[in-house]
Chains A and B, each alone.
Chain A
Amino acid sequence: MFPRPIATRGPGARALYQIALPVALIIWLFPLLGVALTSVRPASDLAAGNYFGMPSSIAFSNYVDVFQNSPIGRYILNSFKVTIPTVIGTLVLSCMTGFALGVYRFRGNILIFFLFVAGNFVPFQILMIPVRDITVQMGLYNSTAGLALFHIAFQTGFCTLFMRNFIGALPRELIEAARVEGVAEWRIFWFIVLPLMRPAIAALSVLVFTFIWNDFFWATVLTTSASTQPVTAGLSSLNGQWIAAWHLVSAGSIIAALPPVAMFFLMQKHFIAGLTMGAVK
């Protein structure tokens, strides 16, 4: 193990480490703690200049205010309406492409694979104008469906990379044996490969959920009204309206951050497995 385990060092070093951990964490999460504290600070505190001290009372009413006086409930709903179909659509498509590229050897395999990989790295701006045009022409501009369709297509690139590598690492004998038995190819996919892909599917669902929930660029390009905007774009426009109402901005930020945070803590193992794929050989 690197560095040397702290347990093998003297008591002084151990005590120092135990103190350094929480101190470093508090410094690291300072902006977050500040915002969390501000979100429960009564407006009167801010008016009186009490920005850092303990709040004079815990004002959960800020959260109630945000829900009552802004369309944030609607924004959250829109975010789900974009995110969930994207997760499902992307997984369906990438299970199939990953299977095709991971199991079969055919001409163009590597070429198609690297097409998906390269597409991932492209800057969004080179896609922006044509994608907006396509969406307008399909009559899906300013709709959650239009946004989800684009996300499905784009995320398929990343997920194909992931799925193909995952399937490629499965034991080939399984598939060969089934073929010898005369099992149809689509049955091999459905009954043999798909059940083995559960960990990959779990990892990708949390990752794609977080990426899409947090997307801001495409939300601003493809949606414009409160009835369709996801929470990232919504929060940005609320920020424009709530000038200096930091207790509301903070409460709104915390609300917007909650779903992916919850997802992360519930599915931590899968999340990190997905994110660090390729970090070890």
Chain B
Amino acid sequence: MAMTSTELRSRSWWRSNQQWLTPWLFLTPGLIMFALYVVWPIFESFRISFYNWDGLGEKRWLGWGNYVELFGDRAFKTSLRNNVIWLLLYMLAVPIGLGLAIFLNQTVRGIRIYKSLFFFPFVISQVVVGLMFSWFYAPNFGLLYNLIEWVTGKGIAILADPTLATYGIIAAGLWPQIAYCMILYLTGLNNVAPDQIEAARLDGAKGLKMLWFVILPQLRPATFIAVVVTVIGALRSFDLVSIMTNGGPFGSSRVLSYYMYEQALSEYGYRMGYGAAIAVVLFLIMMVFISGFIWKMMRDERGDR
């Protein structure tokens, strides 16, 4: 095929430059989408948090106004406190998941089916999980309500009780989260070096000692991921609160993610600036953890290469 000289020139230009150009060409579409929908919105939310804005009209500059208001806002304090409770109790998913994994790490007949069925709650939407637990807790006919009534003589409507509602929701959230941690540990246990276990057995190690000194160190990568996904899960809790209580009763089960949504988008009014300020606080809390995770991952990355 005959080629003009410009074609030839552009070909050879491409040939000598494709090595460094190709990665950028491959990255561009993904980076544009990610920058537009994830990176830029973070900065924009920071900016909006300094304004008073209903989402439609003019933005009015407030400076630190929204943040000052947060300080005196009791609903904000309740949400923040609940977030701390979520974080602490959600961590239970890690040891319980490990326990379940150890329980299931056997080779009897049908064990694979058992493992899948134990993992089941994680596959279901949190909306469905929330509905299931609402039914479980429901006053008068809920199973748990009746169980408590049978034991103590008086039923408790957990989701209608301001002091208990948050704990009821967290229990529902733990259900899929435990399943997730379990599957991480099952995979981890599968890959524990058998010769080390045998060696430790010969040295007389067993039970908890074996678990603590031989198994857990080898499960460290699984533990790291379990902690990461559990922290993120705890701080992202929105679906269950929204489905099970709508933040009630009397706002007692709100968390920051739900309170933010309520302020910015629900019938309580479109206070975008105030909502953004709540989101910024939540983001900063998450940043503490994110930077820890990233720091560790970067260190591992350097160790690898």
Contacts and interface: CB of A to CB of B under 8 A. Distances in A.
A29 B120 contact: yes
A8 to B, nearest CB: 11
Contacts of B128: 235, 253, 256-257
Given A34-B132, A123-B286, A130-B45, A18 B108 contact: yes
Interface in B103-144: 103, 105-108, 111, 114, 116-121, 123-129, 131-133, 135-136, 138, 141, 143
A121 interface: yes
For chain B, what secondary structure do more than half of its interface residues adopt (helix, strand, loop), or is it mixed? helix
Contacts of A180: none
Contacts of A70: none
B23 A32 contact: no
A124 B278 CA distance: 12
B41 A279 contact: no
B37 A214 contact: no
B38 interface: yes
Interface in B83-119: 102-103, 105-108, 111, 114, 116-119
Contacts of A236: 127, 242-243
A125 B282 contact: yes
Contact of A32 (B22, B132, B286): B132
Q: Is the interface of A mostly helix, strand, loop or mixed?
A: helix
B279 A278 contact: no
A153 B127 contact: no
B165 interface: no
A104 to B, nearest CB: 4
How big is chain B's contact interface, by range? 35 or more
Contacts of A235: 127-128, 131
Given A123-B257, A279-B188, A153 B197 contact: no
A114 B39 CA distance: 12
B305 to A, nearest CB: 9
B160 interface: no
Given A128-B279, A261-B123, A101 B23 contact: yes
Interface string A214-246: 101100110000000000100110010000001
A276 to B, nearest CB: 4
A49 interface: yes
Interface stretch (B1-9, B70-78, B151-159, B291-299): B291-299
Contacts of B123: 210, 257, 260-261, 264
Contacts of B38: 119, 122, 127, 153-154, 157
Contacts of A126: 41-42, 45, 279-280, 282-283
A280 B235 contact: no
A265 B115 CA distance: 12
A5 B192 contact: no
Contact of A125 (B37, B118, B120, B278): B278
A122 B42 CA distance: 9
Given A112-B31, A214-B126, A7 B107 contact: yes
Interface string B15-48: 0001110111011011101101111111011001
Interface of A: 1-7, 17-18, 20-21, 24-25, 28-32, 34-35, 38, 46, 49, 51-52, 93-94, 96-97, 99-101, 103-104, 106, 109-110, 112, 114-119, 121-134, 149-150, 152-154, 156-157, 160, 184-186, 189, 210, 213-214, 216-217, 220-221, 232, 235-236, 239, 246, 249-250, 253, 256-257, 260-261, 264-265, 268, 272, 275-276, 278-281
Q: When A and B form their complex, which 4 residue pairs have the shortest distance between CB atoms, in order from nearest?
A: A153-B37, A130-B41, A214-B125, A100-B23
